[in-house]
Amino acid sequence: MRDYHGIVFAYHDEPALRDLTANRTAASLPFCSRYRLIDFALSSLRNAGVLDVGVIMQRDYQSLLDHIGSSKAWDMSRKSGGLRMLPPFGLPQYHTGNYNGTIEALNAVSAYIRHIPQKHVILLLGNMAANIDLDAVIRQHEKAGTDATAICAGQDLASSHSRYLLGEDGLVKYIDLFRTGGKGVASLEGYIFNKDKLLELMDVCRTRNLYRFHQDAMTYFLYEAGGKMDVYLHPGYARIIRSVDEYYQASRDVLDPVKRRELFPADRPVRTKIHEDVSTYYGEHAKSHNSLVGDNCIIEGEVEDCVIFSGCHIGAGAKLKGCIVMRNCTVEEDARLEYVIADKQACFSRGATLIGSPNLPTVVPKDAKI
């Protein structure tokens, strides 16, 4: 058994995801035809043999609970240990409003963290599309012998992230908050921490009434406590999903064969809840170009540059371009959709037309009928 325990943050309720997170957290956003974003974090842990995992959640977690179920899909349904869902417990203040930051979220489940039998904790975002080789991260962390290792992006990222600037010893010297590009390396907000060190940070922040991870805890750790932190550069694709735009771009990114292989390498499979799905049927006049299509669909129309989830029906004569169509949507005959994100079970009637723009895709909420 590995001396590492996973903590996945699945409480984020990102306002910029608008209708997509009306009834779910960012971690349970459907992604790439059959997955939910949290599958990446859970699969990364599973593939590194880390099976004891806590998932921190706060509100709107029905879809997350339904998705994770017994956690058997990730082999985390164990006799001892395994996956635990962590709603807030302890102080009543944690039950209302949103967590103000990652440290507050950790403090809300501090009793759990104190009782973790392992020495090291791996912190991961639930709303990130990245297949991280945690085995390699752990090896590097053990070699460095530091209190912590930050998982950072090895590729350029377009959006805003905290960045770490490194000293000559290769360890983190400074932190720059919320930058787009610039010096240093972008944090993917994944960390390996010595558990006692992490508890110390949580305690310090609580006594000072601070709750943010990078702004508060990391500045304390680096500048006051003299903490030593190594950096692991994740070589593959990675996107943190915090807005509709980021969701749309990441969904389209998966159509690129190189990025797709980085997200779904053969030796580190992404596991997910298994649905009872049959094969997808293509009709006599179907066309499907540069698209990802889930199972259990009936495709009779034309799709191009699309991500179609399982259980969708695309009627004859319907034309879809640049769309993300979630589970069980129906697009009736001759409907035309461009640059639309259709949430689950949406229905587009015969002949309906809806055109968004690649820079501002139109979001159609769950169960909507157009």
Would you tell me which residues interact with another protein (CB under 8 A)? 32-34, 72-73, 255, 257, 260, 263-264, 269-272, 274, 276-296, 298, 307-308
Nearest-approach distance from CB 296 to another protein, in angstroms:
7
Reference 334, options 320, 317, 347; nearest CA is: 317
Reference 133, options 122, 144, 117, 143; nearest CA is: 122
Instruction: List phi, psi (to 5°) of 59.
Output: -135, 170
Say if CB 234 and CB 154 are below 8 A apart: yes
- CA pair distance 315, 14, nearest whole angstrom: 34
Say if CB 113 and CB 196 are below 8 A apart: no
Query: Given the complex with another protein, which of 44 and 102 has the nearer CB atom?
Result: 44
Nearest-approach distance from CB 68 to another protein, in angstroms:
15
Nearest-approach distance from CB 153 to another protein, in angstroms:
22
Nearest-approach distance from CB 251 to another protein, in angstroms:
12
Instruction: List phi, psi (to 5°) of 256.
Output: -75, 125
Nearest-approach distance from CB 256 to another protein, in angstroms:
10
Query: Given the complex with another protein, which of 16 and 255 has the nearer CB atom?
Result: 255
Query: Given the complex with another protein, which of 65 and 274 has the nearer CB atom?
Result: 274
- CA pair distance 256, 138, nearest whole angstrom: 29
Instruction: List phi, psi (to 5°) of 150.
Output: -95, 135
Helices (H), 115-222: 134-144, 195-207, 219
- CA pair distance 100, 327, nearest whole angstrom: 32
Nearest-approach distance from CB 267 to another protein, in angstroms:
13
Query: Given the complex with another protein, which of 3 and 256 has the nearer CB atom?
Result: 256
Nearest-approach distance from CB 109 to another protein, in angstroms:
30
The residue to which tokens 């973790």 are assigned: 116
Nearest-approach distance from CB 283 to another protein, in angstroms:
7
Reference 5, options 76, 108, 67, 58; nearest CA is: 76
Query: Given the complex with another protein, which of 32 and 137 has the nearer CB atom?
Result: 32
Helix axes 134-144, 38-47, angle to 10 degrees: 60
- CA pair distance 144, 1, nearest whole angstrom: 21
132 CB-contact burial (10 Å; exposed 0-12 / middle 13-18 / buried 19+): buried
- CA pair distance 360, 254, nearest whole angstrom: 19
For residue 186, give both structure tokens: 């972008």
Nearest-approach distance from CB 255 to another protein, in angstroms:
8
